[in-house]
A = this chain, B = another copy of it.
Amino acid sequence: MADLDLMQALHRSTESKIVLLVIDGLGGLPLDSSGPTELEAAKTPNLDRLAVEGATGQIVPILPGITPGSGPAHLALFGYEPLTFKIGRGVLEAAGVGMHVSEGDVAARGNFCTVDKKGNITDRRAGRIPTEDAAPIVKLLDEIELPDVSIEVRAVREYRFVVVMRGKKLYADLADTDPQKTGVPPLPVQALNPEAGPTAELINTWIEHARKALAGRTIANAVTLRGFSTNPSLPQFQDVYGMRAACIAVYPMYKGITDLLGMHILSFAGEDPQDEFAATAEIWTGHDFFFVHIKKPDSMGEDGNFEGKVAAIESVDAALPPLLALEPDVIAVTGDHSTPSQMRVHSWHPVPVLLWAPATVRPDRCKVFGDRECAQGGLGTFPSAQLMPLLMAHAGKLEKYGA
């Protein structure tokens, strides 16, 4: 029995409320081996108290050594085994710019490239044109119209854009058109099965229109497309867990992922942790599960800004009291993955996790919320996808398995 089936079979309805506070990129590394990590350096009196009163551990996003992207890392946090459940690149990119992809739509990631007079690619990324230069070119593409289909194009950043096609009998089983080298033309879209043939033709027609629209340009005068995909029809969060879930996030990517799971996506003013916690308070009644996503520590980590990441973590801690005043039954604080500022990228390192649940937790010996303290915590080291059942259990939301 797969884990989600087990949750679907065992979940029960209660009044209890669960907060999953995801501090993006939480796990870190010390700048030198005797020093603290970002989380260890941060002054976090509220999180430390939760860690002392609760239990701690480490979660492994995918498998030891595997660095995750945001998509699989969050699917794992929500209990969806990330090597089984997948979100296509096109759909994920669409989520990242706030475009909804329904079942049957086809989304693709697009790159502007530069081709010579013969149509051969001279630069696969069109000189990494600045985001502001790309905007008017994206607008040209967005104006292309074809019969029987609605096509939406949005800029992502620099030479990257997303295209979503909506219509009848569209299929996403299509091969990438980026030849992965220069000196040759972009590949035509090819169907990977006969059913997708008409969709391939349609997109090739669109590409032709795009070439004409861009023909007067010397750079960014052609496109490649990849990651064709549709809404993956993931099991819906409420069906799996029996909880009405709310997503409180600032960045489109995280709203997009939870949208695919059927969560209620909140709109609210402000972008700081206190704004997110205030928004949580406003919809406290009427929901059972609250996914609160804090982006900044990850951004600081990717900027290589150790002190900035420390400060971003501290600002989460300082903003916590109003959230705690809501008296959730269970609070988990963790990250989707580690983003050590000295590496400037996502990493595979396990992510510290604290689980606070005064009525049901077995406290461990953790004294502060930190990477190395959590490594010795009572929850042990376990896959991120096993966190949700733990939260459900501590909230009294799971029946016994077997007699």
**Residues of A near any B CB (own CB < 8 A):** 1, 3, 6, 10, 27, 29-30, 33, 37, 53, 58, 62-73, 82-83, 86-87, 89, 92-93, 340, 343, 345-350, 358, 360, 362-365, 371-372, 375-382, 386-394, 398-403
Cross-chain contact B83 with A389 (CB below 8 angstroms): no
A53 neighbours in B (Cβ, 8 Å): 33
CB nearest to A5 among chain B residues: B83
A390 neighbours in B (Cβ, 8 Å): 64-65, 348
CB distance from A383 to the nearest CB of B (A): 9
CB distance from A287 to the nearest CB of B (A): 21
CA distance A62 to B53 in the complex (A): 25
Main secondary structure of the interface of A (DSSP, over half): loop
CB nearest to A386 among chain B residues: B64
Given A53-B33, A66-B6, A70-B403: A371 in contact with B362 (beta carbons within 8 A): yes
CA distance A71 to B403 in the complex (A): 6
**This protein's copies in its complex:** 2
Out of B63, B348, B391, B402, which one reaches A86, CB within 8 Å?
B402
Out of B66, B92, B378, B402, which one reaches A71, CB within 8 Å?
B402
Cross-chain contact B3 with A63 (CB below 8 angstroms): yes
Cross-chain contact B3 with A380 (CB below 8 angstroms): no
Cross-chain contact B386 with A58 (CB below 8 angstroms): no
CA distance A399 to B62 in the complex (A): 13
Cross-chain contact A29 with B86 (CB below 8 angstroms): no
CA distance A67 to B390 in the complex (A): 10
CB distance from A90 to the nearest CB of B (A): 10
Given A364-B372, A371-B362: A65 in contact with B382 (beta carbons within 8 A): no
Out of B68, B348, B378, B381, which one reaches A402, CB within 8 Å?
B68
Cross-chain contact B378 with A372 (CB below 8 angstroms): yes
CB nearest to A392 among chain B residues: B65
CA distance A10 to B343 in the complex (A): 19
Cross-chain contact A362 with B29 (CB below 8 angstroms): yes
A10 neighbours in B (Cβ, 8 Å): 66
Cross-chain contact B371 with A375 (CB below 8 angstroms): no
CA distance A372 to B360 in the complex (A): 15
CA distance A30 to B55 in the complex (A): 13
